[in-house]
């Protein structure tokens, strides 16, 4: 990425904001959280010493920052939920929904890392190295983790009777 002047940063934002928001939204399942995380990720990239990165390296760095922010938010939410669970009973289950909502709910049941791996691989169509760079993983780990995420999604979809068991 060239020097992060206001103009260069604006152009960087225009090129990558939509893809980053889509990725964050699909992983978090919450538009408000996606807005916050995307904004925070771009602010952190703007303040970071990244002027010597290429545009693609800057994009990977941006996705990695967003991934770290999602993990932090998830951990914080888990701590809050454990305290709230002690204070009140869980809310009632929502009524049965249509097939698309059931698939989305099943995808949301995956762990954040599993959702991120599947999203980057199949929606963003990133290769294993790009996924490793975006999520801060070793390249060799991506293949194994991606396989496990696919298997877990298949199991969840099968148990929900959305797809036939393989």
What residue spans define the domains of the chain? 1-91, 94-166
Are the folds of 1-91 and 94-166 the same?
Answer: no
Three-class secondary structure of residue 51 per DSSP: coil
Got the DSSP string for 72-105? HHHHHHHHHHHHHHHHSPPPPPPPP--HHHHHHH
Burial of 79-91, coded b for 16+ CB within 10 Å and e otherwise, reads eeeeeeeeeeeee
Strands (E), the chain: none
Predicted TM-score of the model (pTM)? 0.55
Topology adopted by domain 94-166: Arc Repressor Mutant, subunit A (1.10.10)
pLDDT in tens, the chain (166 residues): 444 578 888 899 999 999 999 999 999 999 999 999 999 999 999 888 777 888 899 999 999 999 999 999 988 888 887 876 777 766 666 645 555 677 788 888 889 999 999 999 988 899 999 999 989 999 999 999 999 999 998 888 888 776 655 5
To the question of domain 1-91 being in CATH 1.10.1740, the answer is yes
């Amino acid at each position: 990425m060239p020097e992060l002047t206001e103009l260069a940063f604006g152009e960087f934002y225009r090129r990558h904001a939509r893809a980053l928001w889509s990725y964050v939204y699909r992983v978090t399942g919450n538009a408000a959280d996606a807005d916050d995380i995307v904004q925070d990720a771009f602010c952190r990239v703007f303040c970071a010493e990244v002027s010597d990165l290429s545009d693609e390296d800057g994009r990977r760095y941006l996705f990695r920052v967003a991934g770290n922010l999602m993990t932090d938010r998830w951990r914080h939410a888990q701590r809050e939920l454990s305290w709230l669970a002690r204070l009140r009973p869980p809310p009632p289950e929502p009524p049965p929904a249509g097939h698309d909502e059931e698939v989305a709910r099943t995808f949301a049941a995956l762990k954040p890392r599993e959702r991120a791996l599947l999203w980057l691989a199949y929606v963003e169509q990133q290769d294993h190295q790009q996924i490793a760079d975006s999520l801060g993983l070793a390249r060799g780990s991506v293949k194994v983790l991606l396989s496990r995420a696919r298997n877990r999604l298949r199991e969840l979809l099968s148990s929900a009777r959305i797809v036939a068991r393989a």
